[in-house]
Structure 1
Amino acid sequence: MQMYGMRWVSLDNLEEAKIALAQIGSDPGGIAHMAGKALGRAIKLEQVPLWVAHILKQEMLSVGGDAAVHRNVIINKVEATDVMLLGTVRQLGQLSSKILAQPFGLKKVGHDLKQLLAALEPSKTRILKCRGTELKLGERTLIMGILNLTPDSFSDGGKYYSIENAIAQAKRMIEEGVDIIDIGAESTRPQHEVVSAEEEWRRIEPVLKTLLEQVATPVSIDTYKASVANRALDAGAHMINDIWGMQRDPDMARVVGEYQVPVIVMHNQEGTNYHHLMGDMLAFLRKSIELAEEHGLSGDQIIVDPGIGFGKTTEQNLEVMARLAEFRTLGHPVLLGTSRKSMIGKTLNLSVDERLEGTLATSILGVVAGVDIIRVHDVQANCRAVQMADAIVRMQRGGHYVGA
């Protein structure tokens, strides 16, 4: 019996769908009409009021899709329900257009749905301005190198505590291909010793000023203290990396806003209890994004970090790693930091100095998930692994680079 070469074709986004249809020889007008039918999406909304859920269910059915809701919605026995919109990209696009004119806050839902669908497409090449230096996003995955100026860091505490060793390490990372240098002066390992703002700045100042004089690579400051960020930015630092997403120090958003520099906002919390792991994390990061936007930052200037190893069990960290691509729905660049972390050590039963291969595996998964920046200790090895992964992942199925 003739099987006609039947096979499954993996299509992850509209661009790939268009390429596949073009290779068949479809009419360009038909390609534009059909591409969105090739991709299924599941979009979750949480705690939607009952009457809104009814409208979403009705409108999804009208465009040929569906919406999963709580079983008691049909008999009006719940006040609110989570909703899972199930349909193709084309159907979801039709839904977003239809509900833009609806009441009950549905206009906002329609607007957000359009933005979310766009965020799931491959990112285009664009320039991130960092106070006179520029980073190109979307063309390849960038590497941020970790420079710890701490005596008690979990991984390399005390190794680069002297100015000479720190500068030498920074220059070594630049030779190995790093795109950003991230300076941290307070350990964030479990049970770490809290460092005063004065002591933190005392450690950072000489290294930062020397680096800015000697290298052109953008320098990030890893701090959650607004006073340290202010001093560092005044000295010429290019961006801020806040492990508390600007939610620990109430002045941080104001400081970053005054200098209009890129900011990395990481998810963090005390303890490991969640209502919905991903839902709670995304809600936290949305609050950080709102803080940044209230102080004049927008788009690529706000970089989100899922915070692997912070406020999460090993199992929760592994789940977040498996769902990294979901952070793209926030519509901002994503940074991943897993280097030598306990998630790797506990999974593989390895000490800190034996976690390179585990780190490389997570870095490659980050590339596959579409993250923009990987934060690592071992620059050369990660650069090579990421470059190889980029050559595969960022080359569209069908023949051209995403950013081209």
Structure 2
Amino acid sequence: MAIVNRTPDSFFDRGATYGAAEALAAVDRAVDEGAGIIDIGGVKAAPGGEVSAAEELRRVGGFVAEVRARHPRLVISVDTWRAQVGRVVAGEGADLLNDAWGGVDPALAEVAAEFGVGLVCTHAGHLPPRTRPHRMVYDDVVADIVATTVGLAERAVSLGVRPDAILVDPGHDFGKNSRHSLEATRRLPELVATGWPVLVALSNKDFVGETLDTGIDERLEGTLAATAVSAWLGARVFRAHQVAATRRTLRMVAAIRGDVDLAVARRGLA
């Protein structure tokens, strides 16, 4: 799942894909590098200036339709917590609504059911959107992740969302400190065991930076290490900024598991 942010202030690319032409080029590049899903966002997750629903729609509405026309078979996801936005982009051809804030707008799941699109059910620590965690405490963070995401998934099914169109996301760094995010990674099999396919959003996040004491531009190795571990432990979808490197990492894990063969065989055959 490649990240394409239509925001002027995204933490990683610093607005590089805010413009429509730049964003479309980023979509094309991600597809060429092997992304199967494009996740389009119109509001950065971190605190900042207010972004109204109208402004979010100005950024992502219409753009989804352009991407759909350009890539008819691509899975298009939109990162939004607002039902108002979800309704518009679903009508433009989005396949998936990525609710990174854990169901704060309950009507978003209703929109997913109405339009027959998928839904990502995320653990965000029960915080309002765009809120940084502060002294978060859990009796058991993974138990809370499992209970919250499964509850959201089951509610979505009860509303009519197709069970095979639902993903659960432990929400690394959302409502969690870095130790919580590391524990969520280490204990990922507990979420996998629920039977819902697991999406992880690890790319260049603060838990990687704090683990390695690195800045945003020096987190690729840590991100790929966490990606490899998460893949081995059963995650299915990987939200990423660096698509080609992530795809190579996932292919290597799949080859070690025996799920895929060599891309090319040359050694020891003569």
TM-score normalised by structure 2 residue count: 0.90
Please name the residue that 1:323 is paired with.
Answer: 187
Q: Deviations over 1:211-258 (max 9, x none)?
A: 11111311100000000000000111111100123x201211111110
Q: Which moved more, 1:311-320 or 1:263-272?
A: 263-272
Residue 265 in structure 1 maps to residue 121 in structure 2: yes
Within the candidate set 277, 280, 283, 2:141 is matched to: 277
Structure ranking higher in strand proportion: 1
Shift of 1:147: 0.3
How far does residue 155 in structure 1 lie from its aligned partner after superposition?
Answer: 0.8
Q: Which residue of 1 aligns with 2:66?
A: 210
Give the corresponding residue for 1:22: none
C-alpha contact (below 8 Å) 1:148/1:157 kept by paired residues: no
1:11 corresponds to: none
2:50 match: 194
Contact in 1 for aligned 2:169/2:200 (Cα 8 Å) = yes
Deviations 1:83-134 (A, max 9, x none): xxxxxxxxxxxxxxxxxxxxxxxxxxxxxxxxxxxxxxxxxxxxxxxxxxxx
Inter-partner Cα distance in structure 2 for 1:180 and 1:193: 28
Which deviates further from its counterpart, 387-396 or 311-320?
387-396
Residues 270-304 of structure 1: CA deviation (Å, up to 9, x unaligned)? 34221221111111112201220111124321100
- Deviation, 1:177, is 0.5
Aligned-partner Cα distance in 2 for 1:217–1:281: 30
Give secondary structure in 2 for the equivalent of 1:339: coil
Partners in 1 of 2:26 and 2:259 — Cα distance? 33
SS of the counterpart of 2:229?
Answer: helix
Residues 298, 234 of structure 1: CA spacing in aligned structure 2 closer, same or farther, 3 A cutoff?
closer
Shift, 1:339, TM fit: 0.1
Counterpart of 2:16 (choices 156, 159, 162) is 159
Alpha-carbon distance between aligned partners in 1 of 2:11 and 2:104, rounded to the nearest angstrom: 22
Question: Which residues in structure 2 correspond to 1:5-404 (within 5 Å)?
Answer: 144-189=1-46, 191-215=47-71, 216-245=73-102, 247-269=103-125, 270=127, 271=133, 272-395=136-259
Cα deviation for residue 378 of structure 1 reads: 0.2
Counterpart Cα distance in 1 of 2:202 and 2:22 = 24
Question: What letter corresponds to residue 214 of structure 1 in structure 2?
Answer: R
1:163–1:206 Cα contact (<8 Å) kept? no
Q: Counterpart of 2:193 in 1: which secondary structure?
A: helix
Q: Distance in 2 between matches of 1:193 and 1:187?
A: 10
Counterpart AA for 1:241: N
Matching residue's letter, 1:265: C
Residues 348-371 of structure 1 deviation map (CA, whole Å, 9 limit, x = unaligned): 111111111111101101110111
Q: Is the 8 A contact 1:180 1:217 kept in 2?
A: yes
> Alignment length, in residue pairs?
251
Quickly say closer, same or farther: Cα 1:231–1:280, change in 2 above 3 A.
same
| Percent of residue pairs identical | 37
Give every structure 1 segment of 4 or more consecutive aligned residues whose post-TM-superposition deviation is greater than 6 Å.
Answer: none
Letter in 2 for 1:238: D
Query: In 2, distance between residues paired with 1:239 and 1:222?
Result: 9
SS of 1:330's partner is coil
Structure 2 gap segments, 5+ residues each: 128-132, 261-270
The AA in structure 1 aligned to 2:210 is: K
Q: TM-score, normalised by structure 1?
A: 0.60
SS in 1 for 2:11: coil
What is the one-letter code of the residue matched to 1:229? G
Deviation at 1:307? 0.3
Does the CA contact (< 8 Å) of 1:299 and 1:331 recur in 2? no
SS in 2 for 1:158: coil
Question: What is the SS of the residue equivalent to 2:94?
Answer: coil
Which residue identity is paired with 1:251?
A
| Distance in 1 between residues matched to 2:238 and 2:166, nearest whole Å | 16
Q: CA RMSD in A?
A: 1.4
Render the CA deviation track for 1:345-399: whole Å, top value 9, x for unaligned: 1111111111111111011011101111111000001111111111112549xxx
Q: Report the residue type matching 1:283 in the other structure.
A: A
**Which of 1 and 2 has greater Rg?**
1
SS where residue 167 of structure 2 aligns?
strand
Distance of 1:233 and 1:256 partners within structure 2: 8
Please tell me whether the aligned partners of residues 146 and 190 of structure 2 are also in contact (alpha carbons under 8 angstroms).
no
For residues 357 and 332 of structure 1, the distance between their equivalents in structure 2, rounded to whole angstroms, comes to 28
User: For structure 1, which runs of at least 5 residues remain unmatched after alignment?
Assistant: 1-143, 397-404
Of structures 1 and 2, the one scoring higher in RCO (CA 8 A, sep 6+) is 2
Name the CA shift for 1:267/1:194 in 2 (closer, same or farther; >3 Å): farther
